[in-house]
Structure 1
Amino acid sequence: MFTLKALQKNKTVKYGVPMLLLVVGGSFGLREFTQLRYDAQTIRKKLDPSLEAKVNVQKQSVMLEEEYEKMKEVNLEEWKNIRGPRPWEDSREYQEQQRSRQKKD
């Protein structure tokens, strides 16, 4: 009887153990919920087999050497960095300003 009352008055047992159980149990619970989310996404993303075959063929046909040859042909000496409009700026007006600046250069 004495040990039970002593345990009830102990702050570690009263607050620490439930907190530890909550943190550890929450971790396992969150893992299960997130796993359900990813399982649902994979089920939803299933493609038609004929469409999937076309996608895979296109992915395999791109070769690194071909892309390198394309990049060699690009003239980077005349490339100019142009910033986009800020959220508070009117994008059409800003684009017109940029086009007029490019024509002057």
Structure 2
Amino acid sequence: MTEWLQRIKLQFGKNHLLSYGLPFISVVVLGPFLLRYFGEVRYKYRKVKQVPEEELKSMGFKPTEQITLEDEYKKVKEMDIENWEQKRGPRPWEETFDEPKK
């Protein structure tokens, strides 16, 4: 048994792939799986809880309407995107924020 361990230690010392590559590859491959559990703890034990929509209505909050992609597409379709004017924003180093000089 001890001869077997000594041979393995000797191989790890001589072979750079086993001494440097194997630990590096194992960290790269196994790291995300181990970090996933640490990330879950943040959401599992957080103090902020979601309030159901019925309770919000009883408190007097109005639920927001659902925004769909189709509705937004209709709004953009109605816009006049051919006639526009480029406006220069004020710079922090300018003293006045009036109309830019032409």
> For residues 51 and 32 of structure 2, what CA distance do their matches in structure 1 show?
33
> For residues 6 and 61 of structure 1, what CA distance do their matches in structure 2 show?
63
Q: How many residues align?
A: 90
Q: 2:99 aligns with which of 91, 97, 100?
A: 97
Shift of 1:12: 1.3
Q: 2:50 aligns with which of 27, 30, 46?
A: 46
> For residues 97 and 11 of structure 1, what CA distance do their matches in structure 2 show?
68
Shift of 1:82: 1.0
Q: 1:8 aligns with which of 13, 36, 41?
A: 13
- TM-score (norm. length: structure 1): 0.50
Residues 62-96 of structure 1: CA deviation (Å, up to 9, x unaligned): 8839x64xx74x6767742212223x434x722x1
Root mean square deviation of aligned Cα: 4.1
Structure 2 counterpart SS, 1:93: coil
If each structure's helix is expressed as a fraction of its own residues, which one has the higher value? 1
Change (3 A) 1:19 1:48: same
Q: Does 1:82 align with 2:87?
A: yes
> For residues 77 and 6 of structure 1, what CA distance do their matches in structure 2 show?
72
Higher relative contact order (CA 8 A, sep 6+): 1
Residue of structure 2 in register with 1:59 after alignment = 65
Give, as a single letter, the amino acid of the residue that structure 1 aligns with 2:65.
Answer: K
Residue of structure 1 in register with 2:28 after alignment = 23
Q: What 5-or-longer segments of structure 2 have no aligned partner?
A: none
